A and B are shown apart, each in its own frame.
Chain A
Amino acid sequence: MNATATQTSQTASGSAIGAFIAALLIGGAIIFVTGHVQAETLHDAAHDVRHATGFPCH
């Protein structure tokens, strides 16, 4: 019983760290592309949001 509980807890803990890292990478990539990439089309489309959200823009 104890062994099973420990096993479950370890698996769950591992998957939370994995999910956190995956979410961090996906979220970070979205923020980088929408808020920080300087390509002209992206910059122009996101211009107002970048200013209003406090990102360095120009």
Chain B
Amino acid sequence: MYGKVFTGALFAGFAAGLIAAALQLYFVQPVLLHAELYEGGDLIHFGSESTVPAHQDVGGIDLMRDGLSVLFTVLVYTGYAFIMVGAMALASERGHSVDARRGILWGLGGFVAVHFAPAFSLPPELPGVAAADVVARQIWWFGTVAASAIAVALIAFGRNWAAWGAAVVLLLAPHVIGAPQPEVFTGPVPPELGGEFAGRALGVGLAAWVTLGCFAGFFWQRETQGAPQPA
């Protein structure tokens, strides 16, 4: 069981991580590099008259920097894959079928819990934007992801209104409590870039999670084929 979970997680995480890294480098990284021109002071947005062109040359591939990004993206999605395939093992032991097609639903659930729920109150942020203390935000992030993941599981596998009601409470609570927000807005980066970045980060996150779920379901089914199927 351990071997099947770990093997499935490594394959699924690596495959989904590579795709996520490619999408991030193409769609998200240029917006981030553009924002860094404002963060570093090369461009100034909130000057007396803003005549800075909206289109900037942000440079091409930086082998060292982008190579590290690929490595860390693969690591992050491998981490997610471990948790997802572990949960798939638990689900299939309890008689739920898991395959690539159902894995897409798992991926959507993971995206909602890990990417979309925290972004609802703490959207993906560009370098240089105003934000509250990082440790406070990290604590809120982990709490929100944990609560939302439990909520998604309750919606998917719960059998009565008590479970679904608890899921609604868990989904709403982090946002009713509220994420740590900055005292003042001082970011030098144009809001248009912030909006584009958040949208792209979420879109790439959705694609990556659906891919991860699909791969995880596929590899889990492959690993367990031939094993006795639970009733």
Contact = CB atoms under 8 A, between A and B. Distances in A.
Given A52-B28, A56-B137, A34 B72 contact: yes
Contacts, number: 139
Which of B6, B72, B89, B92 gathers most chain A CB within 10 Å? Answer: B72
B176 interface: no
Contacts of B122: 54, 56
Contact of A38 (B29, B115, B134, B141): B134
Interface residues of A, number: 37
A20 B67 CA distance: 31
Nearest to B79: A30
B61 interface: no
A36 B218 CA distance: 29
Contact of B83 (A13, A28, A52, A57): A28
Interface of B: 1-2, 4-6, 9, 24, 28-29, 32, 65-66, 68-69, 72-73, 75-76, 78-83, 85-87, 89-90, 92-94, 115, 118-119, 122-127, 131, 134-135, 137-138, 141, 197, 201-202, 204-205, 228, 230
6 contacts: A18-B2, A19-B4, A22-B86, A26-B82, A53-B76, A53-B201
Given A27-B78, A34-B72, 8 more contacts: A20-B5, A20-B89, A24-B82, A30-B78, A30-B79, A52-B32, A53-B115, A58-B131
